[in-house]
Amino acid sequence: MSTPGMETMEQNDNEGDNFRLHLVTWNVATADPPVDISSLLHLESPKGPDVYVFGFQEVYSGPLRFMSDVVFDDPWSHCLMTTLAPWNYVKVSSIRMQGLLLLFFSKLEHLPFIRDIQATYTRTGIFGYWGNKGGVSIRLSFYGHMLCFLNCHLSAHMNNATERMIEFEYITDMQIFNCEKAQRILDHRLVFWFGDLNFRIQDHGMHFVRTCISDQNYSLLWSKDQLIMLKKKEKLLQEFEEGPLHFQPTYKFDLNTDLYDSSKKRKPAWTDRILWRLIPKALSSDKQEECGDRSDANNVGQPEEAKKSILELSQDLYTSDMQYRISDHKPVIGIFTLKLKKMQTTPLVHLLAEGEWSADIDAMLVYFPKQPFPSSSWDWIGLYKVGFSSVFDYITYTWVKDDEVAVDEEAIKVYMSKDEIPVRGGECVLGYYCNTLQCIIGISEPFKVHASKVAIEEGLVPEKLRSLH
């Protein structure tokens, strides 16, 4: 006999897969990352996130630092990549506009199903000419569903609520993507909007606001929160949802303390927010879903019922993390369960390393196109160490078209020079990067690259590992 509710649970499992999304927004006030960011990441939770999205505002962008960040990873990106890589998370995409930074990380297993990645930005500071305010966004196809993430830093000060709304509408109108059915942010099936939105608590006096916070009576302040007030009259805002503000206002704190502003005595406010907008299935055509990766591969070989997509979202956590004191803002975390029916279940290519690999001999790899995809002469295959931190964190790469050595109807062999293979060896994977889709569309199983004879003879390989080679 089945237990009550078991039948419903089994039916739900058959209807779609659940993915955990972990979003963080934080105005870091030009500070570098703290030594320990583990509290932000919830890595020790029983089921780790499938996707991390980080939106930062006021990342330090002084002239010398900004120039170095163009060449090297900025401190925040480097910190997160270093922390998440050992847990098998890869930085898939990022975009920076002056102090605004948006980062998207995924578990390695999802990488071949995150396609058609595009990123853009819009300036709104100083009449649209300065990037201290505005929005940066990343859009992509996740298992065939179109998602967009928008990180904003809007105008400050109590009296600019209307200006903030104008800026938001301007950003959503101006950002254009190369996708016929989802050219703008609001064309996407699911949009996350977050950042330092700068909405304040108006009318209530300082004493009342601080008393409510001290007594944890946050609900008494909601009716005068500018964003909540605007939602009552702005149709666009009514399409967005937000969890209840059951955490204390995240702005403005004295640095290195948990005390609200003691100098200028500015009123605390929930300036840092995470909202979302999900277009109901009835309003989203099948054609929109097919736009995900600008190829006919989205639905090739898929049964007709798979095209009728399921996409549901629920919020599991909405809170701030009070332990961080490097900024006058506290970070805000939103954790979501995304339920969807996969419209893509097979990578576009299957990759494997042929024969034994070492720096002593030229190597050969084989890839098998599993579905049609928009290949080009700019496609490449990268050799990565297991535990790589980003799509471009490869040891070396080979151009697919330039280095083809054999082609048949099912398999294509590509050459890689021994001079490019690491002499010390190690556990590696291969990844096929499709330039048109701006993503990795296939990853091999891990395989052993043996240390070269020269490396062993010269003692470059630890003695305990030599027997393995």
Q: What per-residue confidence (pLDDT) applies to 132?
A: 82
Strand order in the sheet with 145-153: 114-125, 130-142, 145-153, 190-196, 272-278
Q: What per-residue confidence (pLDDT) applies to 17?
A: 96
Q: Is CATH 3.40.1710.10 the right assignment for the domain spanning 6-340?
A: no
d(CA 145, CA 226): 32
Q: What per-residue confidence (pLDDT) applies to 283?
A: 60
Q: What per-residue confidence (pLDDT) applies to 1?
A: 36
Q: What per-residue confidence (pLDDT) applies to 68?
A: 58
Which pLDDT band holds residue 316 (cuts at 50, 70, 90)? very high
Residue 294: is its pLDDT beyond 50?
Answer: no
**pLDDT 10s digits, 358-383:** 989 999 999 999 999 999 999 999 99
Residue 9: is its pLDDT beyond 60?
Answer: no
Asked whether the domain spanning 349-466 has the same topology as the one spanning 6-340, the reply is no
Domain boundaries, the chain: 6-340, 349-466
Over residues 436-455, the mean pLDDT reads 90
Q: What per-residue confidence (pLDDT) applies to 424?
A: 84
Q: What per-residue confidence (pLDDT) applies to 287?
A: 44
Residue 49: is its pLDDT beyond 80?
Answer: yes
Residue 6 backbone dihedrals phi, psi, to 5 degrees: -65, -40
Q: What per-residue confidence (pLDDT) applies to 71?
A: 55
Residue 438: is its pLDDT beyond 50?
Answer: yes
Residue 350: is its pLDDT beyond 60?
Answer: yes
Residue 69: is its pLDDT beyond 80?
Answer: no
Where does residue 300 rank: exposed (0-12), middle (13-18), buried (19+ CB within 10 A)?
Answer: middle
Residue 3: is its pLDDT beyond 80?
Answer: no
User: Per the structure block, which two tokens stand in for 322?
Assistant: 């009070």
Q: What per-residue confidence (pLDDT) applies to 306?
A: 40
Over residues 235-243, the mean pLDDT reads 97
Residue-averaged pLDDT of the chain:
88
Q: What per-residue confidence (pLDDT) applies to 61?
A: 86
Q: What per-residue confidence (pLDDT) applies to 153?
A: 97
Q: Classify 168 as helix, strand or coil.
A: helix
Which pLDDT band holds residue 65 (cuts at 50, 70, 90)? low
Q: How is domain 349-466 classified at the architecture level of CATH?
A: Sandwich (2.60)
Q: Classify 217 as helix, strand or coil.
A: coil
Q: Classify 220 as helix, strand or coil.
A: helix
Which residue did the predictor score with more confidence, 282 or 55?
55
Q: What per-residue confidence (pLDDT) applies to 63?
A: 67
Which pLDDT band holds residue 14 (cuts at 50, 70, 90)? low
Q: What per-residue confidence (pLDDT) applies to 73?
A: 86
